[in-house]
Amino acid sequence: MLRKLHLNSEVSMLKSFEGVDSFDKDDLFNREPIAEKLTQIVSESSQCTTIAIDSYWGSGKSTFIKKWMKELDKEEFKILYLDAWETDYHIDPIVPIIGIFKEFLELANATSEDVMKALRTIAYELIKSISKSGGY
């Protein structure tokens, strides 16, 4: 979920991306223009946006995402990152999603009012997405 969340502190979820260079340092496959276009799409969207990146194993999807997230972080997007491969041992996928959201809010020192506002926004967007998809 990519949205600008306005919390009362500076927080970044990018601690796990140490060692990943930004596009301006290392862009062997010239993917920065793709990231810029995706950033434009997300920035102009008035609702939550889902973007699928599909390619074969080892083609650089995770590296691209990490580099792009560094760019989004510079533009003050607050990013929640969940690596499905790292959490695939959970029976219910909502558990790691809630966990990463909780970690984000703890890092942000969010007030209970901030948490409730964010939860209402997320619940609203989820319900809206589910109703558009016919419940799937």
Query: What digits encode the pLDDT tens for the residues 69-82?
Result: 888 888 877 777 77
Domain region containing 6: 2-132
Q: What is the pLDDT of residue 9?
A: 40
Side chain identity at 97, as an amino acid letter?
I
| Domain count of the fold of the chain | 1
Which tokens belong to 43?
């920035």
pLDDT of 12 over the 80 cut: no
Query: What digits encode the pLDDT tens for the residues 110-133?
Result: 777 877 787 787 778 777 777 766
Q: Are 104 and 80 in contact (CB under 8 A)?
A: yes
Band (pLDDT 50/70/90 cuts) for residue 34 is very high
65 closest CA partner among 85, 46, 45: 85
DSSP string, 4-36: ----SS---SGGGGTTPPPTTT--TT--HHHHH
